[in-house]
Amino acid sequence: MISRTSPIVSLAVRAVTPIALLVAAYVLFAGHNQPGGGFAAGLMLGAIIVLRTVAGLQQPRHATWWMAVGGVIAGLVAIGPLLWGEPLLDQVVVTWDVPVLGTVKSGSALLFDLGVVGLVVGLVLALLDGLDATALVDRGRRPAVADSPVDRAATADDQGTPT
């Protein structure tokens, strides 16, 4: 158990969160041409959620919703090409010219990766909820009753009562 949530840890996790979110977004979008993609981005987002949960900044919620939405998106993108007579998981690539960025290319694989991100984040949230990760955080509260036999004996000796 973490004895107390440190304000330094809390501040550090709050400071790192936006940077980690940017890195996860980069990994998601760069994953088509370089290492990365939906699974890696989902794991990075899951790590952010774990850090924020253990630091006492948030509680794991909506795991079922994340998994359901991610599964539906990935499933629809996977079977969508079958409706047009194409093979399962076939990719459609779209390109367009953006004034500042130049030619931008995207495809249905990005939507599939977004579904995978939803699935992975939902699984991390379900794992944290199942392991009761919020119980790890003691926000400075002391137990009303001594926890161990040694503590009970010390308390009894202090009061002058036999054990």
Identify residue 32 by its one-letter amino acid code: H
Tokens coding 100: 């500042």
In the Cβ-directed half-sphere of 72, how many Cα atoms lie within 13 Å? Answer: 5
Tokens coding 119: 């699935």
pLDDT tens digit sequence for 126-151: 999 988 887 776 655 544 555 555 55
- Per DSSP, the residues of 87-131 read PTT---EEEEEETTTEEEEEEHHHHHHHHHHHHHHHHHHHHHHHT
In this prediction the pTM is 0.76
User: What integer pLDDT is reported at residue 160 of this predicted model?
Assistant: 54
Q: Kindly give, in sequence order, each residue whose CB lies less than 8 Å from that of residue 145, ignoring residues fewer than 6 positions away.
A: none
Q: Which residues pair with 102 in a beta bridge?
A: 98
3-state secondary structure of 24: helix
pLDDT tens for each residue of the chain, 163 residues long: 454 668 888 899 999 999 999 999 999 988 876 778 899 999 999 999 999 998 888 888 999 999 999 999 999 999 999 998 899 888 888 898 988 888 888 888 889 999 999 999 999 999 999 888 877 766 555 445 555 555 555 555 555 555 5
pLDDT tens digit sequence for 67-76: 999 999 999 9
User: What integer pLDDT is reported at residue 14 of this predicted model?
Assistant: 94
